[in-house]
C-alpha cells in the first residue's frame, strides 16, 4: 500500500464509508419504527375519541407547558401517567369526571402556584381528552416518568 492516499483511494473510502453508514442508518430506522408500531404503542385500543383527544391537546398547545413521554415544556407536570396518579386508570367515566372538575377549577388562584389557563373546553372535548390520557397511560413508556409524580 502506498504511503500517500491518492484521490481515487480517498473517493473510494468516502463513498464506501458513506454507503456503510447509510445502510446502518436505514436498518436502525426500520427497527425503531417496527418497535414503536408493533411493541411500544397500544394500537389495538386506538379509537376515534383518542384521536380527537390528541387533536384537543394539539389545538390548545398543551405541550407548551406540559410534557408527554418527556417531550414538551417542563413548566407543568408530565401527563403520561396522570390517570394513574388520579387513580382512575380503569374507569373511563371517573377519568372524565375528574378531568372535567380539574379543567373547570382552572385557574386555581392558589398564590405562589403556576396557573393553568381556563380553556373553556366543551364536555365532548374533555371526554376526548380523558380518552387520550387513558390511552397514553396504557402504552409502554419504558419506565418514564422516572417518578410517580411526573
76-86 pLDDT, tens digit each: 889 999 999 99
pLDDT digit string, tens, across residues 90-121? 999 999 999 999 999 888 888 877 788 889 99
CATH class (in words) of the domain with range 48-109+117-150 = mainly alpha
Is 80 in contact with 141 (CB distance < 8 Å)?
yes
pLDDT digit string, tens, across residues 23-66? 999 999 999 999 888 877 777 888 999 999 999 999 999 999 99
The dihedral formed by the CA atoms of 70, 75, 79 and 81, expressed in degrees to the nearest 10: 80
Amino acid at each position: 500500500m502506498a504511503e500517500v492516499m491518492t484521490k481515487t483511494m480517498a473517493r473510494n473510502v468516502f463513498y464506501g464509508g458513506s454507503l456503510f453508514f447509510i445502510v446502518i442508518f436505514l436498518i436502525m430506522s426500520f427497527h425503531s419504527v417496527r418497535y414503536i408500531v408493533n411493541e411500544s404503542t397500544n394500537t389495538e385500543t386506538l379509537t376515534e375519541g383518542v384521536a380527537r383527544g390528541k387533536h384537543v391537546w394539539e389545538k390548545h398547545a398543551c405541550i407548551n407547558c406540559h410534557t408527554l413521554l418527556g417531550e414538551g415544556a417542563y413548566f407543568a407536570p408530565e401527563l403520561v401517567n396522570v390517570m394513574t396518579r388520579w387513580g382512575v386508570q380503569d374507569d373511563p367515566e371517573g377519568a372524565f369526571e375528574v378531568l372535567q372538575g380539574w379543567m373547570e377549577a382552572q385557574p386555581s388562584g392558589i398564590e405562589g402556584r403556576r396557573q393553568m389557563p381556563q380553556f373553556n373546553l366543551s364536555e365532548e372535548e374533555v371526554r376526548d381528552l380523558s380518552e387520550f390520557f387513558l390511552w397514553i397511560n396504557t402504552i409502554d413508556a419504558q419506565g418514564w416518568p422516572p417518578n410517580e409524580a411526573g
